[in-house]
Amino acid sequence: MAVNLPLPDPAALLPVAGLELGFAEAGIRKAQRKDLLVLRIAPGAAVAGVFTQNRFCAAPVQVCKQHLASSGGEIRALVVNTGNANAGTGAPGLEHARQTCAAVAALLGCAAQQVLPFSTGVILEPLPVDRIQAGLPAAVASLRPDNWYQAAEAIMTTDTQPKAASASVEIDGRKVTLTGISKGAGMIRPNMATMLGFIATDAKVAQPLLERLVKHAADRSFNSISIDGDTSTNDSFILIATGAADVEITDADSPAYRQLEAALTGLSQQLAQMIVRDGEGATKFITITVEQGANEEECRKIGYAIAHSPLVKTAFYASDPNLGRILAAIGYAGVDDLEVDQVDLYLDDVWVARNGGRNPDYQEQDGQRVMRQSEISVRVVLGRGTHSATLWTCDLSHDYVSINADYRS
């Protein structure tokens, strides 16, 4: 069902020196599927992350934040399970997340505080920590630098295919590698980061700069997508800089920093867009651009109102140019002083609405032509400033309902 999303080529996924990945079939929710991932990080790396703003943030998210704060950045491993989100689980959930870290630490010979835990799956059910503990030795035994494809498989839930990509950039005459994985595929309206995204680079980056990089990339990628408008309890996006390559970034004003920032942002966008292309039940990939706003926030508000409207999303699904629904969404987005008679609307190259009303030259068949495409761009021009925002979303289909009505069964 994914929209124009080819499977990643395992051979094109570049190992990142200083990082190994191992996986296991731990039977956490279902038998015979990869559901446990361990990432081992060599000493000397820096790690930064952004996490969900959901007040019901999951136990592993809380433990991640504590370990990042207490370990002084000396993180040595990540552990990820699917099948259970360990969210809405109270004090026992926190204890389970810490037990998971302790088990990884014992196998790898580091402190529990140097392990970051991640969980994704059903909310409000106790984490089967015994199965995770039982599966960890196999995951650790399989640690290898070239396991990125299997790692992407190991974090899938309702995703129909693994999501992974690599990039490389020459900085100061030396090659820097970036490789990342992500997962969706529902409860996606990240509000700091997506469900799960992990990117590693072999550049050496000081902790404050790494934190700045991860926020910059998240805002332009995982924080600019929506599938169903539901912000997950477990969203986490982690950036690891192993420092194994002979390239050190020390200055945010340097060309080297900007090169790494551009490569990282591009890779993050690629991974975020993969989540949308594989959105639950998705048949269309929609790019929404809101231009000429008074500020970026109002552009994002309007973009998200369009992206979240069930009526807009079902019209895309039906290839029905019922485009008044987009105007309605613009109108209720919460921009209280919006002058609608300044608003223009385009669908790809087709000028649909002009000065807040139907463009007299607009022909239904032109809208119809664009709506039939699998990739559609919606462009809203507000005519009140110089700011803009771009978001990515998908349509709402029968299969979305089927997938989410059946998710636990």
Q: What is the DSSP letter of 114?
A: G
Cβ nearer to its own copies, comparing 53 with 70: 53
Q: Does 99 bind its own copies (CB under 8 A)?
A: no
Q: What angle do CA 337, 343, 349 make, to 5 degrees?
A: 155
Residue 353, interface with its own copies (CB under 8 A)?
yes
Give yes or no for residue 1 binding its own copies (CB under 8 A): no
Q: Considering only residues 44-73, where is the footprint of its own copies by CB under 8 A?
A: 53-57
Nearer to its own copies, 138 or 340 (CB): 340
Residues 215-254 that bind its own copies (CB under 8 A): 228-233
Pairwise CA distance, residues 164 & 9, whole Å: 9
Residue 194 falls in the annotated catalytic set: yes
The number of beta carbons lying within 10 Å of the beta carbon of residue 91 is 8
Assigned token pair, 251: 């200055």
Nearest distance, CB of residue 98 and its own copies, angstroms: 16
400 touching its own copies, by CB under 8 A? yes
Options 19-27, 66-74, 102-110, 349-357: segment touching its own copies (CB under 8 A) = 349-357
> Segment near its own copies (CB under 8 A), from 134-142, 161-169, 271-279, 351-359?
351-359
Site for its own copies in 77-96 (CB under 8 A): 85, 87-93
Q: How far is the CB of 332 from its own copies (least distance, A)?
A: 4
What is the distance of C-alpha 121 from the center of its chain?
15
State in angstroms the smallest separation of the CB of 237 from its own copies: 17
Q: Which two tokens stand for residue 119?
A: 């969980």
Residues contacting residue 175 through CB under 8 Å, at least 6 positions apart: 168, 169, 245
Size, binding site for its own copies by CB under 8 A: 70
DSSP β-bridge partners for residue 387:
293
Site string (155-194) toward its own copies, x via CB under 8 A: -------------------------------xx-x-x---
| Residue 25 or 230 with smaller CB distance to its own copies | 230
214 vs 335 by CB, closer to its own copies: 335
Q: What is the DSSP letter of 230?
A: P
Count of C-beta atoms within a 10 Å radius of residue 11: 8
Count CB neighbours of 394 within 10 A.
31
Which listed residue (157, 194, 231, 283) is catalytic?
Answer: 194
With CB under 8 A as the contact rule, the residue among 122, 134, 206, 294 that binds its own copies is: 122
Max CA pair span of the chain = 71
Question: Using the rule CB under 8 A, is 105 a contact of its own copies?
Answer: no
Q: Nearest approach, Cβ of 22 to its own copies (angstroms)?
A: 29
> How do 375-381 and 285-293 pair as beta strands?
parallel
Cβ–Cβ under 8 Å, residues 202 and 196: no
| DSSP characters over 298-343 | HHHHHHHHHHH-HHHHHHHHTT---THHHHHHHHTSS-TT--GGG-
Sheet-wide strand order for 163-171 = 46-51, 236-241, 196-201, 174-183, 163-171
Q: Of 104-112, 136-144, 169-177, 305-313, which segment contacts its own copies by CB under 8 A? A: 305-313
- State the minimum distance, in angstroms, from the CB of residue 51 to its own copies: 13
Residue whose entry in the numeric block shows the structure tokens 């590698």: 177
Per CB under 8 A, contacts with its own copies among 317-346 are 317-318, 320, 322-325, 327-332, 335-336, 338, 340-341
Residue 380 · residue 389 · CB < 8 Å: no
Q: Which is nearer to its own copies, 111 or 294 (CB)?
A: 294
Reported residue count of the chain is: 409
Our CB check for its own copies shows the closer of 2 and 188 to be 188
- For the chain, what is the total number of helices (H) and then of strands (E)? 11, 18
d(CA 155, CA 119): 9
43, 44, 72, 310: which one contacts its own copies (CB under 8 A)? 310
Residues that bind its own copies (CB under 8 A): 53-57, 85, 87-93, 122-126, 186-187, 189, 191, 228-233, 308-311, 314-315, 317-318, 320, 322-325, 327-332, 335-336, 338, 340-341, 352-353, 355-358, 396-398, 400-402, 404-409
- Residues serving a catalytic function are 194
